[in-house]
Structure 1
Amino acid sequence: MVSFYRAAGDGLRLRLKVRPQARRAAIDGVVPDIEGEALAVSVTAPPEDGKANAAVVALLARAWKLPAASFAVVQGATARRKLVSITGDPGTLAAIIEAWRSSRA
């Protein structure tokens, strides 16, 4: 199965399934997706004027202790399925995500 993240030249690309206007903000875990896996993320923000996208970025940045400025929604800005990039060393970023993933197992 294809992981929810992959290396790109300047960092990583993440495949997300976002649920806006949820009761609580949380990273819900890895779920099956058309292309393999996606990271399910719930945010309390509404899907208007980029509020949900900003909430997703803030949540991921806080969870992984990375600067929010290193995240960008590169595909699916108005959709629930998104492709998000994280700028940085791909190996270091992958290690951060795998450590987070292991801590949740």
Structure 2
Amino acid sequence: MVFLREEKEAVVFKVRVQPRAARNELAGLHEDALKIRLTAPPVEGEANEALRVFLARLLGVPRSQVEIAAGQKGRSKLIRVKGIAAGRILSLLETTTGARNNG
């Protein structure tokens, strides 16, 4: 399962980004991180901004509440999301990946 850690008023988890993909999507797990494919290139922060937008939409929170806490220049990143519980994130991820894998 995805590594999630609750902090004061935030949830932190790891992601592994694959830039320049055919479409923006959740792609399952990569070791202890959530794998996300993004169409944006890894140039001048484009993939980072696309990641924040993608996660905000997926989790139903404002983009301002999604922060890249570490890994701004690499594929492995640590994400901090404010205003949502870890259980809610797990539920959304299971629903999203389950629907994709079963349909």
> Is the shorter-chain TM-score for this pair beyond 0.5, marking a shared fold?
yes
The 8 Å contact of residues 4 and 30 in structure 1, kept in 2 or not, is answered as no
- Which 4+ stretches in 1 moved above 2 angstroms? none
Percent same amino acid among aligned pairs?
30
For 1:64, give the aligned amino acid. L
Q: Which residue of 1 aligns with 2:33?
A: 38
Q: State the 1:101 CA deviation.
A: 2.9
The whole-number CA distance in structure 2 between the counterparts of 1:21 and 1:15 is: 20
Q: State the 1:64 CA deviation.
A: 1.3
Unaligned stretches of 5+ residues in structure 2 = 99-103
Unaligned stretches of 5+ residues in structure 1 = none
- Structure 1 residue 61 corresponds to structure 2 residue 53: no
TM-score (norm 1): 0.83
The whole-number CA distance in structure 2 between the counterparts of 1:17 and 1:102 is: 17
Q: State the 1:93 CA deviation.
A: 2.2
Q: State the 1:58 CA deviation.
A: 0.7
Aligned length: 97
The whole-number CA distance in structure 2 between the counterparts of 1:83 and 1:60 is: 13
- Structure 1 residue 12 corresponds to structure 2 residue 7: no
The 8 Å contact of residues 43 and 56 in structure 1, kept in 2 or not, is answered as yes
Q: State the 1:28 CA deviation.
A: 1.1
TM-score (norm 2): 0.85
Q: Which residue of 1 aligns with 2:81?
A: 86
The whole-number CA distance in structure 1 between the counterparts of 2:67 and 2:3 is: 16
